[in-house]
């Protein structure tokens, strides 16, 4: 029998804020994820970081081994988006690195806490959904917020 789950989301950050320290949301505080996940957020960068900047990662790095699914980082010096995840074939994979294909019917979601990083700028409207947003839901989510001033 297939388990039915409800579509839920957790609004982690509402109004735009500047993060001066790492914000951690425990796994148990987030909606249960079965097969699909969406994360939405708005950012305004004030400057490029000279090193890698972490926007968020679910899970952590321990002794050089990553367990972070999902993760979003910014490249040093130009802030280009760098999505990462941990797969059974690679513990530091990115969308462009998938060569062997994804596992079917497997959810590789980390059960670690969600870390929201520090960077030079503001973050707001950070929402964690336990389903894949449709194009209409993405547009509605984008339009139903107050813009950065």
Query: To the nearest whole number, what is the mean pLDDT of the chain?
Result: 75
pLDDT number for residue 86 = 80
How far from 29 is each of 8, 85, 109, 138, CA to CA, in Å?
12, 21, 15, 23
Percent of the chain at pLDDT exceeding 90: 1
At 11-31, the pLDDT tens digits run 888 888 888 888 899 989 988
Q: Is the pLDDT of residue 126 over 60?
A: yes
pLDDT number for residue 110 = 65
Given a contact cutoff of 8 angstroms between Cβ atoms, the answer to whether 70 and 116 are in contact is: no
Delimit the domains of the chain by residue range: 9-143
Q: Is the pLDDT of residue 107 over 60?
A: no
């Amino acid at each position: 029998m297939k388990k039915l789950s409800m579509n839920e989301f957790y609004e982690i950050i509402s109004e735009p804020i500047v993060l001066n320290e790492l914000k951690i949301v425990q796994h148990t505080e987030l909606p249960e994820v079965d097969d699909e996940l969406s994360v939405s957020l708005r950012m305004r960068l004030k400057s490029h970081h000279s090193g890698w900047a972490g926007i968020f990662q679910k899970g952590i790095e321990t002794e050089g081994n990553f367990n972070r699914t999902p993760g979003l980082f910014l490249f040093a010096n130009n802030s280009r988006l760098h999505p990462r995840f941990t797969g059974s074939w690679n513990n530091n994979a990115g969308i462009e690195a998938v060569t062997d294909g994804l596992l079917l019917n497997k959810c590789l979601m980390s059960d670690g806490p969600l870390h929201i990083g520090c960077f030079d700028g503001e973050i707001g409207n950070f929402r964690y959904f336990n389903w894949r947003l449709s194009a209409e839901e993405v547009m509605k989510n984008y339009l139903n917020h107050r813009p950065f001033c």
